[in-house]
Amino acid sequence: MHNIYAAGLLANFFESGWAIQVLIGDMDRAQYFASRLTRAEIKRHLRIMVDMAVALPEEVSAQMPLVNWQAWRELDAALPCLSRAQKDVVWFTLETLVPVTGYHLRQYKAKLPELFSFSLA
């Protein structure tokens, strides 16, 4: 797998996380689950993040151990948001995992810029 593939996955993953943070703003849990439009758009971005985490080669994700890649891969099961437990997982993801992941990815981008580079070299 070429580096450009992993860089694309990471870029999509990061951009979706950023979009989620912008969309959710200062909403609380009740506001989030009451909002049909925002919730649908955030779910779309969460789906992108899950798909990118699943597709990211293990040798790339292993270089970023502070990101909880396993939690991202397992989030798929909670996305229907039908049960209280699924809603708890999604809210935890939005409130905690998204911002923490973005923070760590920014750190890794500074330390390991080659992982995020779109160069063919």
pLDDT digits (tens, 9 = 90+) for 14-47: 999 999 999 999 999 999 999 999 999 999 999 9
Among residues 25, 53, 30, the alpha carbon closest in space to that of 41 is found at: 25
Q: 80 lies in a domain?
A: yes
- Summarize the confidence of residues 89-111 as an average pLDDT: 98
pLDDT digits (tens, 9 = 90+) for 38-73: 999 999 999 999 999 999 999 999 999 999 999 999
Q: 100 lies in a domain?
A: yes
Q: 81 lies in a domain?
A: yes
CB within 8 A of 26, min separation 6: which ones?
none
pLDDT for residue 120 is more than 90: no
Number of structural domains, the chain? 1
62-78 burial string, b = 16+ CB within 10 Å, else e? eebeebbbeebbebeeb
Paired tokens of 65: 């151990």
pLDDT for residue 2 is more than 60: no
CA–CA gap between residue 18 and residue 42 (Å, rounded): 11
Q: 119 lies in a domain?
A: no
pLDDT for residue 121 is more than 70: no
Q: 45 lies in a domain?
A: yes
Domain residues for the domain of 85 are 3-113
Q: What is the pTM of this model?
A: 0.94
